[in-house]
Each structure stands twice: as C-alpha cells, then as structure tokens.
C-alpha cells in the first residue's frame, strides 16, 4: 500500500473497528500526506499533517485548523511483497499493530517516536482489491506517529556536524535503547543507517520500528523477514543465510556495526567480502579500519573520555585507563561472525568494556598452548584474522614465557619484535599462514 502526496487519510475514530458512536467529541482527525520519505517492498514512510479541530465561538462550530496550525507527522503503511499470500497479509497487519502498541508506545524512552493514531482505510490498489475480499480491502492499517526533525544517520555522518565525540554520545544512546528494548522483550532485529535519525541537538531517534520483533519466537518472523530483507552490511551472517531467527546476539552485531559506521563512516564489513555463506561466516573488520578507529578514539581529550564513560554507563571503572582498546575490543566481540562468541546483551558488553585488558600489540590473534609453553599468536600480515575472544580473561601468559621464534620472515619478525619490546619485556611471535 503506497500513498501519494496530497492524499487525505481520515482518522475518524468511528472507523470500522469502533463499536459505537455517541455524544462524544464531534472532532474528527484528518491526515494529509505531504511528502514521500521512503518506500520499500515492505513498507512506505510518508510525512504528513495532522489537521486538528478548533471550536469557533463566533459561529459555535468546529473548523479544521489552517495549514500553519497542523502538526507535522509521519505516516507508515504496510506493503505486501507477497500479495497473493493471505497469511502474509494478515501477519503484516498484525505486525503493524504490534509496532504501534508495543514498540512506538514503549514507555520510559525518548528515543522512539510517540504514536499518534492508527487509522484503517481502504486499500485501493487494484491488485489488492482484485485478490482480496471486501473485509480485507477495507482494513488497511496506517500508523501515524511523531515527526522527527533530523537527518538519517547516513546523511549525518557526512555532514559538518559529525565528530567523534558527538558520535560517541549517540553510540551511548543507541546502546541504552538496545538495552531498553531487550528489557521489554523486544529485539531490534534489523538495523541500517536509515533506521536512525539525528536531530539538531545531535540526539538519536529510532524510526526503524517496523523491524522490531518480539523476543518470543514467532512462526511469522521468517515470513515477514526473509533473508533478503536484511542489509548485507549491517546484519549477522546467520540472518543473511537464513539459518537462524533474530536473537539478542544478532542484535549485538547489528548495533555494533551501526556504531562502527557512526564512528568510521563505513560499514565494518564494507571491504567487498561477497555474499556467499562461507564468506559471510568469515568476514571481519579490516585491520586498517580497526587501527584508524583506535587512532581516532585515542585522540579524544581526557574530558571527552570522562563524558564517554557516563554515556556508555561504565563510570567508576577502569574503562578510561583501557581506552580505546577496551572499547574497540568490545565492538569487535559483537562483530564476531560466530554468534556464540558475541556478548549476550548490552550488560555483557559493558562488562567487557570494564574488564577487557589492552592488547600488548594490535595484531594478537590467539593463544596457543603446546608442550607446557604458552604462545601468543600475532598476525604478521594486514589481511590476517582476529581469533582472540576479548571477553575471555587476559592472555594467560607472562612476558617471562620463553621465546619461541617461529617466524619465517626476518623482516616481519623484526617489525613484530619492535611491537613486542614493551619496557624490557619480550613476547612470542608466531606467524600463521
């Protein structure tokens, strides 16, 4: 169902769901569509005006408010990629009502737009009228909610307003939102930079509410969210391959990839990895990008770091001392292609931020135990993969561990040795091919 600019949506409460009319309010809400914001195969988002009623004392009658007295609103419609599938139509409509009453009406958060109305109108699209009965045609839900003045995240990061400090505050807000939805039994499910808008005060607002699902497993999820609905660059591999349904773990990957985008202006998986299942299950952020992010974060002032502690809700811990490695390692843990290695919620992520030790060098890729000796594995090339799980305790090794030199390239070994000479201590370098 798509609307056009200039369409009028009558929001009379005496719609097909209303039981009776009586002496109550003679005022009838009307919505006028003023702009198409976005249309996808699954939904349409429009900007419009809510027309109020004024009581005119002179004539003792109600009158519609003039244009300048109308409230800007957003309207969302459901679209049906599977028009012939009546169960999909039912699921989509029920999901729209869930979005309104559970997501938009979710209490105790300022980051989700306020619901204004649910109106049921006639779906006049030819194909719909042809394929469905009158009862279906007449009950097309249109969600009306608070207009957010702001830019989509993708626009904001490339605007003059973007800076790392502001981005970190937004990141803090997004983690709080994620935690809040999880606590209320909901999952973000699907995120992309268009799901989040940033207002003039650099505050974030979550408008991608049509993708939120209940944490309770539902048979309808796969019908409503087939793998091709998820964005390649911001979704967990198991959702893209259709091997799993949304979980807290897939949410952690989605929110971390959005935060990565917020900070670096690029997706963590933007390196042309391809879309095959095997490739998806191996993809990790480009080490060069990781290093640039660390450098950018390390340049923040001490005051900014203290602010960030508050925004990420890790005040009073050793977070600042571990800045920026602790923070980046937490993000990397969320971006792990193995769902079992990701934090199991925002609280778990905060635990990593509070406790994760800084790595001695950035290229640590794992710990190996052989013949009673511990070996730390470092990457010796930029394309190498991270295998270390930063949630686990600090590497079980002391710098007094006997050196085992197994590197084949002297030149690269020398580079690594430079990294390893921290104080008077030495480490173990193993090159993995």
Partner 1 sequence: MAAVDSKSTWDRFAFRNRDFVRGKIDSGQNRGKSFTVPEFIAERYKPTSYFASGGCGLLLKGKDIKTDAEVLIKSTLEYGEADYAKWRDEDGFVVQLKKTRQQLQTERRVMVWLKNRGCNSVPNPIDYVFDLNPRLAEPYSTSEGTDTWTFSDEVMLSSEPFLIMEFVHGRMLTDIIGNGIDERRSVGILREVCHVFEVLHKPMSLASRTFQLAYQDLKPDNVMVGAHDAVRLIDFGGCRVSVNGTISAHGAFTPGYCPPECDSTSEIKPSADAFSVGAMLYHMITGQNPGDLLKNSLASAVRKSVRFDDWDWNRLQQRASRQTVEMIKQCVAERPTERPADGQQLSQMLSKMEGASCI
Contacts with partner 1, residue ranges (CB under 8 A): 13, 18, 21-27, 29, 52-55, 57, 60, 62, 66, 68-72, 100-102, 104-105, 107-111, 114-118, 146-150, 169, 172-173, 176, 199-201, 203, 205, 301, 303, 311
Residue 337 CB, nearest approach to partner 1 (Å): 31
Residue 288 CB, nearest approach to partner 1 (Å): 31
Decide: helix, strand or coil at residue 206.
strand
Residue 13 CB, nearest approach to partner 1 (Å): 6
For 385-392, the CB contacts below 8 A with 24+ separation are 385/282, 385/284, 386/284, 386/287, 386/332, 388/359, 388/364, 389/333, 389/336, 389/341, 390/329, 390/330, 390/332, 390/333, 390/352, 390/356, 391/333, 391/341, 391/343, 391/348, 391/351, 391/352, 391/356
Q: Of the candidates 243, 271, 284, 286, which has an alpha carbon nearest to the alpha carbon of residue 389?
A: 284
Which residue, 144 or 233, has its beta carbon nearer to partner 1? 144
Residue 46 CB, nearest approach to partner 1 (Å): 16
Residue 136 · residue 89 · CB < 8 Å: yes
| CA atoms of 89 and 328, how far apart (whole Å) | 42
Which residue, 70 or 233, has its beta carbon nearer to partner 1? 70
Residue 18 CB, nearest approach to partner 1 (Å): 8
Which residue, 204 or 250, has its beta carbon nearer to partner 1? 204
Provide φ and ψ at 268, rounded to 5°: -65, -20
Which residue, 236 or 312, has its beta carbon nearer to partner 1? 312
Residue 319 CB, nearest approach to partner 1 (Å): 17
| CA atoms of 338 and 199, how far apart (whole Å) | 35
Which residue, 172 or 427, has its beta carbon nearer to partner 1? 172
Which residue, 198 or 352, has its beta carbon nearer to partner 1? 198
């Amino acid at each position: 169902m798509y609307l056009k600019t200039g369409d009028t949506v009558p929001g009379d409460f005496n719609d097909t769901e209303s039981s009776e009319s009586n002496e109550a309010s003679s005022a009838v809400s009307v919505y006028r569509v003023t702009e198409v914001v976005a249309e996808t195969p699954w939904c349409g988002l429009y900007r419009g005006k809510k027309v109020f009623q004024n009581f005119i004392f002179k004539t003792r009658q109600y009158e519609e408010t003039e244009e300048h007295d109308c409230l800007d609103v957003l309207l969302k419609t459901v679209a049906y990629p599977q028009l012939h599938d009546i169960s999909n139509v039912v699921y989509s409509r029920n999901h729209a009502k869930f979005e309104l009453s559970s997501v938009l009406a979710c209490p105790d958060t300022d980051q989700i737009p306020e619901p204004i109305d649910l109106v049921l109108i006639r779906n006049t699209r030819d194909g719909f009228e042809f394929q469905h009965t009158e009862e279906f045609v007449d009950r097309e839900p249109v969600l009306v909610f608070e207009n957010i003045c702001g830019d989509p995240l993708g626009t904001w990061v490339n605007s003059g307003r973007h800076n790392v400090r502001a981005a970190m505050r937004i990141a803090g807000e997004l983690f709080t939102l994620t935690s809040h939805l999880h606590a209320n039994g909901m999952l973000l499910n699907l995120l992309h930079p268009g799901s989040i808008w940033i207002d003039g005060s650099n505050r974030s607002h979550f408008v991608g509410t049509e993708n939120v699902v209940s944490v309770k497993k539902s048979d309808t999820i796969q019908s409503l969210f087939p793998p091709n609905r998820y964005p390649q660059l911001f979704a967990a591999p198991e959702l893209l391959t259709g091997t799993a349904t949304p979980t807290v773990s897939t949410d952690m990957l989605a929110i971390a990839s959005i935060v990565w985008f917020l900070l670096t202006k690029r997706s963590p998986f933007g390196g042309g990895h391809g879309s095959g299942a095997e490739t998806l299950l191996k993809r990790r952020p480009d080490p060069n990008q990781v290093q640039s992010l660390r450098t950018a974060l390390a340049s923040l002032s001490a005051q900014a770091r203290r602010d960030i502690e508050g925004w990420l809700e890790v005040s009073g811990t050793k977070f600042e001392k571990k800045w920026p490695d602790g923070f980046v390692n937490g993000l990397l843990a969320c971006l792990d292609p193995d769902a079992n290695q990701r934090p199991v919620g925002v609280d778990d992520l905060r635990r990593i931020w509070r406790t994760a030790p800084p790595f001695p060098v950035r290229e640590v890729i794992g710990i190996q135990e052989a013949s009673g000796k511990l070996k730390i594995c470092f990457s010796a090339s930029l394309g190498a993969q991270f295998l270390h799980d930063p949630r686990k305790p600090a590497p079980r090794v002391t710098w007094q561990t006997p050196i085992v030199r197994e590197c084949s390239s002297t030149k690269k070994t020398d580079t690594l040795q430079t990294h390893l000479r921290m104080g008077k201590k030495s480490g173990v370098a193993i090159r993995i091919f």
